[in-house]
Chains A and B, each alone.
Chain A
Amino acid sequence: MTLHLVLLVAAALFAVGLYGALSQQVVVMVMMGIELMINGVLLAGGALWWFLSPTPDGQTVLLVVLAAMTVEMAMGFAVATVVHRSRKSDMTDSATDLHG
Chain B
Amino acid sequence: MITAILFWVLTALAVAGGIAVFVVNSMARATYALAVSFVAVGAMIVMLHLDYIGVITILMMLMEMAVMAVFMVMFMGMNPALMPMDMTHNKRRSVILAVLVFVVLAAAIVFIPWPNRTGSPADDLTKSLGDAIMGSKMLVMLTISPVLFATIIAALVLANPKGRYDRYGDALDRRDVDGHPDPDDPIPGGLG
Contact = CB atoms under 8 A, between A and B. Distances in A.
A18 B90 CA distance: 12
A71 interface: yes
B48 A52 contact: no
B7 A25 contact: no
Nearest to A11: B105
Contact of A74 (B34, B52, B95, B152): B152
Contacts of A52: 114-115, 117-118
A79 B156 CA distance: 10
A43 B53 CA distance: 10
Chain B's interface: helix, strand, loop or mixed, by majority? helix
Interface residues of A, number: 69
Interface string A8-29: 1101111111111011111111
B97 A18 contact: yes
Given A25-B89, A29-B27, A59 B50 contact: yes
Contact of A11 (B102, B115, B148): B102
B125 A24 contact: no
Contacts of A56: 122, 125, 128-129, 131-132
Contacts of B148: 67, 70-71
A95 interface: no
B56 interface: yes
Interface string A43-70: 1001101111111110110111011011
B144 A67 contact: yes
